A and B are shown apart, each in its own frame.
Chain A
Amino acid sequence: MPIDTATREELGVSGIAKAYTGVQALKGVDISVAHGSIHALAGQNGAGKSTLVKILSGAEVPDSGTITVDGHRVRFRSPQDAQAAGVQTIYQELSLVPQLSVAENVLLGDLPQKSLHSVDWATMRTLAADAIARVGFRIDVREPVGNLSVAEQQGVELAKALHKQARVLLLDEPTSTLPPPDVQRLFQVLKGLAAEGVTMLYISHRMEELYELCDEVSVLRDGQLARTFSIADSEPAQVVSAMVGKDLEHSLEGEALSGGSVPRLGPGPTDQVLMTVENLTEEGKFRDVSFDLRAGEVLGISGLVGSGQSELASALAGARPRSGGAVRIDGKAAALASPREAIRAGIGLLPQDRKAQGFVPDMSVAGNITLASLPMFSRFAVRSDRRENSEARRLVDRLGMKVSSVAQPMKTLSGGTQQKAILARWLVRSARILICDEPTRGVDVGAKEDIYELLRDFAAGGGTVIMASSEIPEALMCDRVLVMAAGRVVATLRHEDIDPHGEAIIRCFGGADQTVPPKATSSTESTQAAVHPRSPLNDVPQKRGLT
């Protein structure tokens, strides 16, 4: 949507600064968002995005600076103040009550009442149905929210914000939990709302989304505004460079974004078959998966979120029970019935949900690094802190981890550094096969490069990697890619056979079953008018991050 230069400013942020004990999170940020536009806010973790969102949503009070809504200066001392001024926030983790109905959720806090404070159900349902229709969903408002899909829940959240007369919507990574067809739906809804005059600040790291949806993007770096780009006159690589503060020309991410050919992570497979998987099945998750894994190979398992690649990766690491099939490692049958057995067989897992599965938050970096190999650092079950710490320091140096000391608690590290520590855990054990499940989810652009570099090192040192990922650029880095759809392997593609944009992979995502219907009934009638087919963006390829 080209910006009409005559449009007025809806949301103005000027000189906003905020310090937390000792840390200057925001150092005077100015952003101006035009009425009815979608303005992206991008930046690495720690750049100040979330602090700015908290300030705009009233959750935090800035130390200095001003906020204006529709030209009027506002002061938010609480989320209620922000909402009263028409600024509604939709957080990554939805804040709905799953047991209550859609109608109750939409009108929560503002339930229509009859005499004697009894709830006026009829009015409530009508109001809720109106709000739901406005965001283009057709959902029974009596349904408990817990029964809805994530996309529908997000629709309810949007409807709730609209019901509260939102002038400005803050959307904090709304697509992080959505499958691609629903992402498209959401974008249609958001574009429709923008056409109705709702102004949006859209937070995301995903370049392809920004370029599909937004009008402008403001990049934050180290608490300052690095630059505001007009989407129409910029390229993703410029935005990414502004985010990391350096030229990305030679990085993998840069290569992937610019559509050049992506170099492989590893030196390529050897002839030696390390692992043989035959008809591996987990009921309801994946079926009849068979492949040979060669030593030194980087094998990608690609698929849309929910296609079974994550479950397959976990099963190969012994973290999930399987219901059928066989795995042989070095020609010997491996039961892989528990992570412990898989680890003994030389397998290490970088789990998908780092915080929930990857590390012990209160424990030191050293403790987390040595967690899987305690016997190596102990005699008669008595540990040696000295040996643990010296090994941990060696890995901290080798992996370039940013820590103040190996005694630092794990929870205080950035996402990328945490991921390195988990990788270090397997390096200590000299794992032969590293299984990564969405290895760069939730880490920022700079740390992504570091993680690719580490995987490259691991492969160069003779290690073998299995990488389950829904990100196309990651699949492009593998020697070979198994493409999964609906729990089955639908294609096996070699690196050479994949075009630079990964279209060959994307084509297989539909799998044998091309009839995957878009969820719920489409109510495009209400939004159609607002949906503009995206004008072909300069030379931005049709790259899609598929989560």
Chain B
Amino acid sequence: MSGQTTPLRPGTASTTGGQTAREKRSAAESLRQALPKSYLLLVLLGIIIIGFIASPDFLTGRNASNVITFSAIIAVLAVGQFFVILTGGIDLSVGSTVALSTVVTAMLLQQGLPAGVAVIATLVACALVGVFNGVLVVGLRLAPFIATLATLSMVQGLSYIIQSTSLIQISNQQFITWFSDGSVLGIPNPVVIFVVLTIIAAFVAKYSTFGRRLYAIGGNREAARLSGLPVNRDLLVTYTVSGLLAGLAGLLAAAQLLQGSSLVGQGYELDAIAAVVVGGASLFGGRGDPISAVVGVIIIATITNIMNLVGISSQPQLVIKGAVIIVAVFLSSAGGVARISGALSGLRGRRAHREKAA
């Protein structure tokens, strides 16, 4: 798996494979192999340079902290979405699960429950949404797209029913400190949460047997089954984790907005999926890694931020965002970097051949 899981450290791409003499590659060759994997950071760097030129307010600690905090909710969703996409599935229900999470938390806090109890109950409820998805996919063998689309609708309806009034205010200070206002060593809690989560996810993907099994299931489900892997159980766990993380994202949203509302989170699933794919994962499964998915989130958030700073209004912003996604996905998932470099070297080869012939 070294190929997929070390995209952010191009220099180390070949060290996991072992150090025998036959593995020595020419520098140009290893650069060519590392390029598609490290391009994401280059893209982010390029965007940051553009931002620096475009606006004096961009490269400030305050703005950077804004971008990252703003990214936290989508980043948490993207991590869960990454694992689902890794198995070759998709989870469209996470946006409405965010809404459910805010509504359930707000309601429980309004009832006067302690913050800890409300948080745990909410996470359990959202994990159950994931279990439901998992049962539809594994038990009833529905296509993940359809199953989670149906769940999206059901959960949205459920949020409306639970909310019943317009919206529910949150005033529990404890809760707000945990998920929004508090900080650890000066780092805002939402950032701490998503960074820790990303690190755990990266570790699980790269070093755990569970992560390896998910790569196998996404890469070739039948081969995984015939190798005796517990495919159904792993899929169930994956959808459950996605629901759970959508619940966590909802807690962050609720604490930021100070309210529970069934209108929160609409379309977040698409932002998360876009980020995962920008991060190089394949919708067919078996490829990608969680850190790249989160870098994908930050890339999209940074571009949005720059557009806000230079005063581009929100309608053209959407158009530009869409174009950026197309370019990024072409370069990563569609193998654009490899294709362009392949075409170039093919051209060079043909020219060399012609020169030789002449």
Contacts and interface: CB of A to CB of B under 8 A. Distances in A.
Interface of A: 19-21, 63-64, 317, 319, 338-340, 342-344, 349, 351, 356-364, 366-367, 371-372, 374-375, 378, 381-383, 385, 389-390, 393, 404-409, 425
A64 B355 CA distance: 12
A375 B227 CA distance: 13
Nearest to B210: A381
Given A361-B219, A363-B219, A364-B17, A381 B208 contact: yes
B215 interface: yes
A342 B353 CA distance: 55
B307 to A, nearest CB: 35
Contact of B353 (A19, A319, A367, A425): A19
Given A361-B220, A364-B1, A383-B212, A393 B227 contact: no
Contacts of B20: 393, 405
- Of residues A340, A360, A366, A383, which shows the largest number of chain B Cβ atoms within 10 Å of its Cβ? A360
- Of residues B1, B216, B228, B346, which shows the largest number of chain A Cβ atoms within 10 Å of its Cβ? B228
Contacts of A385: 2, 16, 207
B12 to A, nearest CB: 12
B220 A359 contact: yes
A364 B5 CA distance: 12
Contacts of B286: 360-363
B226 A357 contact: yes
A406 B209 contact: no
Given A19-B349, A371-B216, A405-B18, A362 B228 contact: no
A64 B357 contact: yes
22 contacts: A340-B228, A351-B226, A356-B220, A360-B223, A361-B220, A362-B215, A363-B1, A363-B216, A363-B219, A363-B286, A364-B1, A364-B17, A367-B216, A371-B227, A374-B209, A374-B212, A375-B209, A378-B208, A382-B209, A383-B208, A406-B18, A407-B16
Contacts of B208: 378, 381-383
B139 interface: no
Interface in B301-331: none
A356 B207 CA distance: 26
Given A361-B219, A362-B219, A407-B14, A367 B1 contact: yes
Interface of A is mostly: mixed
Interface of B: 1-4, 14, 16-18, 20, 22-23, 207-210, 212-213, 215-216, 219-220, 222-230, 286-287, 342, 345-346, 349-350, 353, 357
A342 B228 CA distance: 8
Interface of B is mostly: helix
B17 A406 contact: yes
Contacts of B230: 340
Contacts of B4: 362
Given A367-B212, A407-B16, A359 B345 contact: no
Nearest to B23: A405
Given A21-B346, A371-B229, A405 B215 contact: no
Given A374-B209, A382-B208, A406-B17, A362 B287 contact: yes
B353 A63 contact: yes
B216 to A, nearest CB: 5
The 6 closest A-B pairs by CB, nearest first: A407-B17, A360-B219, A343-B228, A340-B228, A372-B227, A405-B23
A343 B23 CA distance: 33
Contacts of B22: 404-405
Contacts of B1: 363-364, 367
Contacts of A381: 208-210
Given A374-B212, A385-B16, A339 B219 contact: no
Contact of A21 (B14, B212, B219, B345): B345
Contacts of A319: 225-226
Contacts of A19: 349, 353
Contact of A64 (B216, B342, B346, B353): B353
A339 B225 contact: yes
A339 B227 contact: yes
B349 A21 contact: yes
Contacts of A364: 1-3, 17
A359 B286 CA distance: 12
Nearest to B15: A407
A165 to B, nearest CB: 33
Given A364-B17, A406-B18, A382 B207 contact: yes
Contacts of A383: 207-209, 212
B224 A407 contact: no
A385 B224 CA distance: 19
Nearest to B341: A21
B209 A358 contact: no
Contacts of A363: 1, 215-216, 219, 286
Nearest to B286: A362
Contacts of A366: 17
B18 A389 contact: yes
A63 B3 contact: no
Nearest to B18: A389
A361 B287 CA distance: 11
A360 B207 CA distance: 18
A378 B346 CA distance: 43
A385 B17 CA distance: 8
A203 to B, nearest CB: 26
- Of residues B3, B207, B212, B215, which shows the largest number of chain A Cβ atoms within 10 Å of its Cβ? B212
B357 A378 contact: no
